[in-house]
Amino acid sequence: MEYIGIIPARYASTRFPGKPLADLCGKPVIQHVFERASRALDAVVVATDDERIRQAVLAFGGRAVMTSPAHHSGTDRCWEAYCNCGSKADVIINIQGDEPFVSPEQIEALKQCFAADATTSIATLGKPFSVSDGLEALLNPNNVKLAFSAVTGNALCFSRSVIPFLRGVPQERWLEEGRFFRHVGMYAYRADVLQRLTALPQSPLELAESLEQLRWMENGYAVRVALTDTQSVGIDTQEDLRQAALLMRR
């Protein structure tokens, strides 16, 4: 089975324009992502709508393809990039372009979902919450939560709300007495499935929670969940970049 990693990277960002090109310890953020993804994949491509990003990728020896600026999601950009780069890979792994600490082990976990089960069509990652994460992190709607089947390993639900709700348990004790999982936003799709996903109209649950994966589930697609102990560090602001530099130096 062949895999390709595609890294969607846009220049425009409300909170941090140009963040793929921001300097992080002597390299642009996108280079860190590309190099770490390449540890687990033979083929990695950056999908961008900006010539400055394409040139930066070519400058460090990476591969980049231009895509339409009209895409509303990384999923759509991944499909166009896959079509434009001439790949025949069976599985496409969508890697966030603003996560310079992406773990090769996370990518391997996604690959294993397909290698171990021929029925897997989409896969993603979940990470257990720990008591040390704190209640604030659990309640934060920007930290998407998920629940999955112990039998099939497929996702049952994704939500910005806390799932499950622990009835009769004081909220301050939820992390001690419950079992919660944070969604790690990396996806892998069989190529033919990704093509069909890009043709689906937005769904009610997706619009309510602003979570694209709910559209797929509402249309009957199963999302396999692999667990990871690693939490990637995303860069959305200049402060995130500063913290990432401190972490990288350590």
Q: Cα–Cα distances in Å, from 79 out to 45, 87, 122, 191, 217?
A: 12, 11, 14, 8, 19
pTM, whole model, 2 decimals?
0.94
Can you give the C-alpha Rg of the chain in angstroms? 18
Instruction: Tell me what pLDDT residue 203 has.
Output: 96
Confidence of residue 96 (pLDDT cuts 50, 70, 90): very high
Instruction: Tell me what pLDDT residue 104 has.
Output: 94
- Read off the DSSP letter of residue 181: E
Instruction: Tell me what pLDDT residue 186 has.
Output: 94
Q: What are the helix (H) ranges across the chain?
A: 29-37, 51-59, 74-85, 104-116, 135-139, 174-177, 191-197, 204-209, 212-218, 238-249
Mean pLDDT of the chain: 95
* Region 77-103 average pLDDT: 95
Confidence of residue 73 (pLDDT cuts 50, 70, 90): confident
Tell me the per-residue pLDDT of 216-235, one tens digit each, with 9 for 90 and over.
Answer: 999 999 999 999 998 778 88
Tell me the per-residue pLDDT of 157-198, one tens digit each, with 9 for 90 and over.
Answer: 999 999 999 999 999 999 999 999 999 989 999 999 999 999
In degrees and rounded to multiples of 5, residue 128 shows phi and psi of -65, 140
Query: Does 14 score more than 80 pLDDT?
Result: no
Instruction: Tell me what pLDDT residue 236 has.
Output: 85
Angle, helices 29-37/51-59, rounded to nearest 10 degrees: 60
Q: Which domains does the chain have, with CATH numbers?
A: 1-97 (3.90.550.10), 103-229 (3.90.550.10)
Counting residues of the chain whose pLDDT is more than 90, the rounded percentage is: 88
Instruction: Tell me what pLDDT residue 175 has.
Output: 98
CB 149 within 8 A of CB 96: no
Tell me the per-residue pLDDT of 30-50, one tens digit each, with 9 for 90 and over.
Answer: 999 999 999 999 999 999 999
